[in-house]
Amino acid sequence: MKRTWAAGAFTALAAVAGVVLAAIALRSEPADSTYFGPFDSVAVTSPARPGERVYVGVDPVEVKPGDRVRFVSIDGGPAVTRGLAAALTRTPGAIAVLREKDLGPQELDSYQALPTGDWSAADGPIGLVIEVVMPSATTTITRPELMFVVNQGPPQRIHFPVAARLCLPPPDGPATCDPPAPPH
């Protein structure tokens, strides 16, 4: 009886401690950086076959005069394999959503994979793209997170209010790939 009571007390204590720790973890989650932005909310869709690479663009960013910015990583979930960055003036235009087969000739050559080198204001608007490998079923990427560093300072992060839904083409997927709600 005593052991049961002790076990119950321990479980309750652990549960309380878990809640407290979770609350602390939530509160200590750093806020998004305001270095770039504000950003615009968009949603895109594209068909894709399993294993196919799809490129989804997020809002362009610009480095402030005198600063050096390095893009470290981008996280959009397990389907996102890497992030890419390019000075948009050196591309055929920003990417909303393009499958690998629809990219321009050597288009990815204009891009640097993250982590990148330093960028400056002279680069103008910088297009950031996430590379997604289509899984076996419809997938939605929401609010990808970019980690970056300004003037070799501490890492900063932002979430882009972008959602991308990749659907299997008919007949395996829907006739129309309905867009997700643009996130904020």
Partner 1 sequence: MARRSIARRLASASAAIALTATFGIQPALGKGGPASTVIDVQVTDSSGLVLAGSRVMLSVMWPTEQHWNANGRTHGRQARTDSTGRAQFRLKLALEERLALIDNGDWLNLQLMAFDERGLPAGAFNFSRYFGNDPRQTELAEPTTQAGRLIAIRADGTVADRSVAGARQAAAPLTASDVGTCYYWYWERYSTDWAYTRTGELHSAADTIDADFLYGTSSDATIDVGFKSGTGPWQISGTAHSGESITTVHGLNKASNFHWGVIVPFNYVLLFLYKDCTLQQHVYAGQQQVEENGYHIQSGLSYSIQMSQPARNTSHPEWALRSGPDTSYMRETNKFKKFTGAVSIWGASLGAQSGSSQFVRMYWRWGHAQTWHYLYGNGYHPNSAPVIYASNS
Q: Which residues bind partner 1 (CB under 8 A)?
A: 38-47, 57, 59-60, 88-89, 91-99, 102, 124-125, 127, 161, 169, 176-177, 179, 181-182, 184
By CB atoms closer than 10 A (0-12, 13-18, 19+), residue 32 is middle
Nearer to partner 1, 57 or 76 (CB): 57
Least distance between partner 1 and beta carbon 18 (Å): 30
Start-to-end Cα distance in the chain: 53
Nearest to 96 by CA among 23, 152, 165: 165
Nearer to partner 1, 18 or 90 (CB): 90
Classified as helix, coil or strand, 113 is strand
Least distance between partner 1 and beta carbon 96 (Å): 4
How far, in Å, CA of 86 to CA of 15, rounded? 48
Nearer to partner 1, 70 or 123 (CB): 123
Least distance between partner 1 and beta carbon 134 (Å): 13
CA dihedral (46, 49, 55, 59) positive or negative:
positive
Nearer to partner 1, 129 or 147 (CB): 129
Q: Up-side HSE of residue 12: CA atoms within 13 Å toward CB?
A: 6
Nearer to partner 1, 42 or 79 (CB): 42
Asked if residues 47 and 176 have their Cβ atoms less than 8 Å apart, the reply is: no
Least distance between partner 1 and beta carbon 21 (Å): 28
What residues contact residue 101 under an 8 Å CB cut-off, 6+ apart? 52
Least distance between partner 1 and beta carbon 102 (Å): 4
